Amino acid sequence: MALLFFDLSLLPSSNPNSRLLAAARALELGYAAVALDHPHRGLLADADRCRTAPFPVLSSLPLPSSASLHRSRNGSPTYEPFRQYTRITLSLDSIAAAASALAPSAARLLRTYDIVAVRPLNQATLDYLCQFATEMDVISIDFSHKLPFRLKLAMVKLALQRGIHFEIAYSPLIDDVNSRRQVLAEAKLLVDWTKGKNLIISSAAHNANEIRGPYDVINLCAYLLGLSTHRAKAAMSVNCRSLISKATRKKYFYKETIKIDTLLPDEQLDSTKYKLGDWIGRDPSSFIGDL
């Protein structure tokens, strides 16, 4: 399997061009994909369906020469296009809010996004997410501030058994001394308990200045968080790819077996056009960006 690096959280900014510049910087540094993150707090409504548009200029081939150079240095293939996924990050402050936002009835809206992340704001919500929530892919924890809850080994293990991923953002580590100290005090516990399993590392960047190259981040996390180089690399590559593949199967395949396509009203099923062989053996993460 090709080594591909991901940054699964680029946040919006007051400057509309900031996220474009951040995505362009990620492309230049050799990342193969990013997720355009939409933070949300409060009740979901139909107006909250995904309206995040990728930047077509960044996904064209051939890659810019700087991107090809960095990918070659990173050991990543240059023939893969730069992919842009959509993501929603729900901040939830109660079990009732979590049950409502992640209920099966909300699946139609949530599945307009490629990735569904949840940020718990208290102990009860975190415990509920680890034990029961299904319509989500990742638990994102803001380690840059004092946590409003306590991480529990039993809950972390249960979430891992259920295939849920945990996310640590590295931008606070390069932001200021106070943020760095806070992350180090809290995030190391999650690193120790997960041992890198189902752990992803993202930038949570608001602008291009907060993005670092894959191996800079790997060395930073290995040095500050105690992750081995191998596990830090997996947290930015293999684990991210696994998360996307799982999210794709859940959203675009019925019971992870039969792909569901939306057909236009006048479109007819044509056996010469739709062939089973087109889907067998295909990696979900390789085509979700093309949908």
Categorize the per-residue pLDDT at 253 as very low, low, confident or very high, splitting at 50, 70 and 90: low
H or E element: which one contains 118?
A: strand 115-120
Average pLDDT, the chain: 87
Residue with tokens 């180089």: 229
Residue range 256-277: average pLDDT? 45
pTM of the model: 0.86
pLDDT > 70? residue 14 = yes
Long-range contacts: 245-250, Cβ < 8 Å, 24+? 245/283, 245/284, 245/285, 246/137, 246/163, 247/114, 247/115, 247/116, 247/137, 248/114, 248/284, 248/285, 248/288, 249/284, 250/137
What pLDDT is stored for residue 173 in this prediction? 87
CB atoms within 10 A of CB 178: 11
- Written out in words, the top-level CATH class of the domain with range 6-290 is alpha beta
Return the domain boundaries, the chain. Answer: 6-290
Dump pLDDT digits (tens) for 278-290.
333 444 444 444 4
State the DSSP code for 49: S
What pLDDT is stored for residue 259 in this prediction? 53
Categorize the per-residue pLDDT at 11 as very low, low, confident or very high, splitting at 50, 70 and 90: very high
